[in-house]
Homo-oligomer: A and B are copies of this chain.
Amino acid sequence: MKKGIGYYQIGETVELALLIKQAKKGIASNGKPFLSLMMTDKTGDIEAKMWGVKPEDESVYRTGTVIYVQGDVQDYRGMRQLRLKSVRPAHDKRAEDYMQSAPMSVDAMLEKVNEYLFAMDNPKIQRLTRHLLKKHQEAFLTSPAAVKNHHEYSSGLIYHVVSMLELGRSFAELYPSLNKDLLYGGIILHDLAKVNELTGPLGTQYTLEGKLLGHISMMHVEIETAAAELQIEGEEILLLKHMILSHHGKGEWGSPKPPMTREAEMLHMIDNIDARMAMMDRALERTAPGEFSERIFAMEQRTFYNPNL
Tell me the A residues contacting B by CB distance below 8 Å. Answer: 25-31, 33, 49, 51, 74-77, 81, 83, 122, 163, 166-167, 170-171, 174-175, 177, 179, 182, 208-209, 211-214, 216-217, 220-221, 224-225, 228, 235-236, 238-239, 241-242, 245, 250-262, 265-266, 269, 272-273, 276-277, 280-281, 284, 290, 292, 299-300, 302-305, 307-309
List 4 extra interface pairs beyond A31-B49, A167-B171, A212-B260, CB under 8 A: A170-B171, A177-B281, A212-B239, A224-B225
| A39 CA / B175 CA spacing, docked (Å) | 28
Partner of A212, one of B238, B252, B254: B238
| A265 CA / B272 CA spacing, docked (Å) | 11
Interface-central residue, A26, A27, A76, A166, by most chain B CB under 10 Å: A27
A182: chain B residues at CB < 8 Å are 309
Instruction: Tell me the smallest distance from the CB of A49 to a CB of chain B, in Å.
Output: 7
CB-based nearest B residue for A279: B265
What are 20 residue pairs bridging A and B, where the CB atoms are less than 8 Å apart in the complex? A25-B75, A27-B77, A28-B29, A30-B51, A33-B74, A166-B170, A167-B171, A170-B174, A177-B284, A212-B239, A212-B257, A212-B260, A235-B307, A239-B307, A245-B256, A251-B254, A258-B300, A262-B304, A266-B273, A269-B273
Instruction: Tell me the smallest distance from the CB of A148 to a CB of chain B, in Å.
Output: 17
| A16 CA / B258 CA spacing, docked (Å) | 41
| A224 CA / B298 CA spacing, docked (Å) | 33
- Is the CB–CB distance between B260 and A305 below 8 Å? yes
Number of copies: 6
- Is the CB–CB distance between B262 and A27 below 8 Å? no
Partner of A170, one of B30, B167, B214, B292: B167
| A177 CA / B304 CA spacing, docked (Å) | 14
A235: chain B residues at CB < 8 Å are 307-309
| A225 CA / B223 CA spacing, docked (Å) | 12
Instruction: Tell me the smallest distance from the CB of A272 to a CB of chain B, in Å.
Output: 7
A26: chain B residues at CB < 8 Å are 76-77
A262: chain B residues at CB < 8 Å are 277, 280-281, 284, 304
| A277 CA / B177 CA spacing, docked (Å) | 9
A256: chain B residues at CB < 8 Å are 214, 216-217, 245, 254-256
A216: chain B residues at CB < 8 Å are 256
Instruction: Tell me the smallest distance from the CB of A173 to a CB of chain B, in Å.
Output: 8
- Is the CB–CB distance between A31 and B83 below 8 Å? yes
| A223 CA / B66 CA spacing, docked (Å) | 43
| A258 CA / B252 CA spacing, docked (Å) | 10
| A51 CA / B31 CA spacing, docked (Å) | 9
- Is the CB–CB distance between B166 and A174 below 8 Å? yes
- Is the CB–CB distance between B29 and A238 below 8 Å? no
CB-based nearest B residue for A163: B174
CB-based nearest B residue for A55: B11
Partner of A241, one of B171, B212, B277: B212
